[in-house]
Amino acid sequence: MSIRVAVLGAKGRMGAEACKAISETKDLELVAQIDIGDSLDLLVSSAAQVVVDFTHPDAVMKNLEFAINNGINVVVGTTGFDEAKLAQIKSWLANHSKVGALIAPNFGLGAVLMMQFAAKASKYFDSVEIIELHHPNKADAPSGTATRTAEMITDARRSVKKAAMPDATSSAIDGARGALVGEVPVHSVRLRGLVAHQEVILGDLGETLTIRHDSIDRTGFMPGVLLGIRSVVSHSGLTYGLEHFMDLN
Ligand code: NAP
């Protein structure tokens, strides 16, 4: 039997792409396309089992509260989640033990793998820095993906008690060494012609390793969105990050 899926933010760039991908997928049924001004009651009247949210950081919490309280699983691509918002979602889920919520900062399977590989590799190198490169219309710097990668690398390095990275810089122009996220310097490039790219450069005596991911088109997020939809129906509670639905051992 197919999974009944609704999309919130259906007229947006990501939402429209998600609607197309879902409607072209045999084991999924697109039952509602909701955008600003439409009633959330459509989620209930369409008997959606999963709602995919690609709206706006200011709108997403209200949507999630409604969906969870109505027993609907959620797959969320909208960005801007912090500890307080995640705790709020957990508290809603606590009253609905069968409902699953996936919050995925990045649905790109390649991007998720890049983050995982980088974190694993960082245990074996003295130095690691991140360069993220995006189109010039991006509002936030560093990107959410770069921030998450830096956090994962910091955790991995701390787990093996890596010493501080070597860096003899004693004078620098502000920003020249990037922004420090955890232990990792992150450099943000904003350049006409780019889409969304990231390099993690690792270095040790006599060798370097560069792990690079390029997001070329929004279609690249769709296999991850479909994986999220299929997985969330059998995973109740809060899942943060698509990697938990991937076999990475
Ligand atoms: P977008 O083109 O602006 O689309 C958002 C859509 O949601 C718009 O049609 C917007 O309507 C609508 N909307 C706003 N509030 C709503 C509400 N309360 N209920 C229903 N619809 C509402 O943005 P986008 O590029 O698709 O990105 C959407 C979100 O996904 C952003 O947070 C972005 O950072 C994130 N994103 C995540 C990933 C990932 O892999 N996790 C990848 C790409 C983007 P109006 O235009 O009328 O306001």
Catalytic residue among 96, 134, 162, 213: 134
CATH T-level assignment (fold) for domain 3-103+218-245? Rossmann fold (3.40.50)
Does 142 contact ligand 1 (Cβ within 6 A)? no
Residue 1: band (very low, low, confident or very high) from pLDDT cuts 50, 70, 90 = confident
Mind listing the pLDDT tens digit for each residue in 6-52? 999 999 999 999 999 999 999 999 999 999 999 999 999 999 999 99
Is the distance from CB of 232 to CB of 167 less than 8 angstroms?
no
Instruction: List the catalytic residue out of 62, 98, 135, 138.
Output: 138
CATH 3.40.50.80 fits 109-215, yes or no: no
Is 80 exceeded by the pLDDT of residue 249?
Answer: no
Atom of ligand 1 nearest to the CA of 14: 26
pLDDT at position 193 is: 95
State if residue 125 touches ligand 1 by the CB under 6 angstroms criterion: no
Domain ranges of the chain: 3-103+218-245, 109-215
Reply yes or no on whether 138 is catalytic. yes
pLDDT of residue 80: 84
Whether 105 lines ligand 1, by a CB cut-off of 6 Å, is yes
Average pLDDT value for residue range 80-103? 96
pLDDT of residue 105: 87
* Tokens standing for residue 23: 């409607």
The CA distance from 51 to 101, in Å, is: 10
- Beta strand segments in 11-84, E: 28-34, 50-53, 73-76
pLDDT score, position 79: 86
Radius of gyration of the chain (CA): 19
Closest residue by CA, ligand 1 atom 30? 78
Alpha-carbon distance 160 to 66, whole Å? 42
- Which ligand 1 atom minimizes the distance to the CA of 62? 18
The pair of structure tokens assigned to 8 is 């919130």
Neighbours of 87 (CB within 10 A): 10
Query: What are the residues whose beta carbons fall under 8 Å from the beta carbon of 14, sequence distance 6 or more?
Result: 54, 77, 218, 221
**CA-to-CA distance for 136 and 104, rounded, in angstroms?**
23
- 165-171 LR contacts (CB < 8 Å, sep 24+): 165/126, 165/127, 165/128, 166/126, 166/127
pLDDT tens readout for residues 95-105: 999 999 999 98
Task: Give me the pLDDT at residue 245, please.
Answer: 97
pLDDT digits (tens, 9 = 90+) for 177-231: 999 999 999 999 999 999 999 999 999 999 999 999 999 999 999 999 999 999 9
Percent of the chain with pLDDT over 70: 100
| Binding site membership of 54 for ligand 1 (Cβ less than 6 Å) | yes
| pLDDT average, residue stretch 78-87 | 92
Active site residue 161: no
36 lines ligand 1 (CB under 6 A): yes
Q: Do domains 3-103+218-245 and 109-215 have the same CATH topology?
A: no
